[in-house]
């Protein structure tokens, strides 16, 4: 048994951390938040492409590095720590994974190399309103290869080139690829909780759409896609949670009240100990998810849901209590605390809310126990 990153992966992690913290610190996310016209950091995105990170888990024949999903997890954790304001998740965990999961050989050969080169930003569009989309609520339709409907919010929908859309054709839900720069697409920027990760409302009117995967398999494929994304996002959440704990710890060691550093008070110590506990559990669950994802284990659906629920909890708690630990200064615009708080929420919703994943988790446990 070996339940840890390999030496190579640890090396990758420390190199990635050095690179990001020196060249692309969390201040980049603030730059995007402060500039209403921006919804991502294009320079950073180019830099990630140059590092080869966009192709880390994409097979060599498509121009990628052909490393494992676990290596991708390593990068995800580091991106989470610095709140990287780039469409990494939309492009890699959703578009690239969808194409690798369900795409034809031609689709893969066309799309994956462009992703690796940083020429193609992806997005995933399933939500059409409040609540979890279901076959009964799905309104977007495809007919004669043309897609019509409204999707919101679509993370990175404003800047993406190619979108994976959940829609039904002849009453059967499927996944479709739509060129967002093509005809029949109009987009509108949405105001969101985390402006460092933009989102849009996209109206499709007879937009040309090509099927991705088997007809009728839309919800199955979306679920598999969400499982993969959940594991990868869990690492971004773990990175964020650990960073919040470090920020809170560092502050607690510097700030004095009543003649003592606040970190000497048990109310603060115990709060940080609880953060540490949550973060540790989330990390361990994420590792298990990474293992299941990396090996294609049958455990993936349960492991992914567990990683998701655990990571959502850790990140929400760490981001919230980091502000509390900082007191008034933590509630100012100038403090980075709110950037983490916003991102924690964004990450906690972008692949579906924790409460929905809890339901999914218990459903899967029931199935497993019945089997």
Residues in contact with another protein by CB under 8 A are 1-6, 70, 245, 249, 252-253, 260-261, 263-264, 266, 268-270, 272-274, 276-277, 280-285, 287-288, 290-291, 294, 305-306, 309-310, 313, 355, 357-359, 361-362, 365-366, 369
Smallest distance, Å, CB 232 to another protein? 15
- Taking the least distance from each CB to another protein, the nearer of 38 and 68 is 68
Smallest distance, Å, CB 167 to another protein? 29
Question: Dmax of the chain from CA atoms?
Answer: 74
Do the beta carbons of residue 221 and residue 102 sit within 8 Å? yes
CA distances from 38 to 192, 196, 199 (A): 13, 8, 11
> What DSSP element (H or E) covers 204?
strand 199-212
Smallest distance, Å, CB 221 to another protein? 24
- Taking the least distance from each CB to another protein, the nearer of 248 and 339 is 248
CA atoms within 13 A on the CB side of 264: 8
- Taking the least distance from each CB to another protein, the nearer of 4 and 106 is 4
- Taking the least distance from each CB to another protein, the nearer of 290 and 351 is 290
| CA–CA separation, 354 and 348 (whole Å) | 7
- Taking the least distance from each CB to another protein, the nearer of 126 and 310 is 310
Smallest distance, Å, CB 297 to another protein? 8
- Taking the least distance from each CB to another protein, the nearer of 197 and 313 is 313
Closest alpha carbon to 238 in 5, 6, 84, 80? 80
Strand partners, 261: 256
- Taking the least distance from each CB to another protein, the nearer of 37 and 370 is 370
- Taking the least distance from each CB to another protein, the nearer of 42 and 281 is 281
| CA–CA separation, 79 and 18 (whole Å) | 12
Smallest distance, Å, CB 127 to another protein? 21
Smallest distance, Å, CB 222 to another protein? 20
Q: Which value, in Å, is the radius of gyration of the alpha carbons in the chain?
A: 20
Interstrand relation of 260-261 and 122-125 (parallel, antiparallel or unpaired): unpaired
CA distances from 12 to 8, 19, 55 (A): 6, 10, 14
- Taking the least distance from each CB to another protein, the nearer of 27 and 355 is 355
Smallest distance, Å, CB 90 to another protein? 26
- Taking the least distance from each CB to another protein, the nearer of 91 and 325 is 325
Smallest distance, Å, CB 315 to another protein? 13
Smallest distance, Å, CB 355 to another protein? 7
Interstrand relation of 172-179 and 185-189 (parallel, antiparallel or unpaired): unpaired
Smallest distance, Å, CB 365 to another protein? 7
Closest alpha carbon to 76 in 306, 243, 240? 240
Interstrand relation of 141-143 and 162-169 (parallel, antiparallel or unpaired): parallel
> What DSSP element (H or E) covers 202?
strand 199-212
SS3 labels along 141-184: EEECCEEEEEEEEEECCCCCCEEEEEEEECCEEEEEEEECCCCC
In sequence order, which residues have a C-beta less than 8 Å from that of residue 143 and are 6 or more positions away?
Answer: 169
């Amino acid at each position: 048994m070996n339940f840890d990153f390999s030496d190579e992966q640890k090396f990758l992690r420390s190199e990635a951390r050095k690179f990001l913290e020196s060249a692309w610190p969390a201040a980049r996310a603030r730059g995007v938040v402060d500039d209403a016209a921006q919804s991502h950091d294009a320079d950073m995105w180019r830099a990630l492409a140059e590092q080869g990170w966009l192709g880390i888990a994409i097979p060599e024949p498509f121009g990628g590095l052909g490393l494992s999903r676990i290596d991708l997890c390593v990068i995800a954790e580091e991106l989470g720590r610095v709140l990287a304001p780039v469409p990494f998740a939309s492009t890699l965990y959703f578009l690239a994974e969808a194409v690798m999961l369900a795409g034809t050989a031609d689709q893969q050969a066309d799309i994956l190399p462009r992703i690796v080169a940083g020429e193609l930003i992806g997005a995933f569009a399933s939500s059409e309103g409040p609540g979890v989309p279901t076959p009964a609520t799905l309104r977007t339709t495809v007919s004669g290869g043309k897609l019509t409907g409204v999707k919101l919010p679509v993370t990175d929908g404003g800047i993406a080139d190619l979108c994976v859309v959940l829609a039904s054709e002849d009453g059967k839900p499927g996944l479709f690829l739509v060129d967002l720069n093509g005809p029949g697409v109009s987009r509108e920027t949405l105001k969101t909780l985390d402006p460092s990760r933009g989102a849009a409302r996209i109206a499709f009117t007879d937009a040309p759409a090509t099927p991705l995967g088997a007809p009728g398999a839309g919800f199955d494929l979306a679920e598999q896609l969400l499982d993969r994304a959940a594991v990868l996002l869990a690492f971004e959440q773990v990175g964020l949670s650990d960073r919040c704990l470090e920020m809170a710890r560092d502050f607690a060691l510097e700030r004095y009240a009543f003649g003592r550093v606040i970190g000497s008070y048990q109310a603060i110590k115990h709060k940080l100990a609880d953060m540490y506990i949550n973060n540790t559990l989330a990390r361990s669950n994420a590792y298990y998810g990474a293992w299941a994802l990396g090996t294609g284990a049958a455990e993936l659906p349960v492991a992914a849901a567990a990683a998701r629920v655990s990571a959502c909890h850790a990140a929400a708690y760490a981001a919230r209590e980091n502000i509390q630990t900082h007191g008034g200064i933590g509630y100012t615009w100038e403090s980075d605390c709110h950037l983490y708080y916003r991102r924690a929420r964004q990450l906690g919703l972008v692949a579906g809310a924790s409460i929905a994943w809890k339901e999914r988790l218990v459903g899967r446990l029931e199935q497993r126990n019945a089997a």
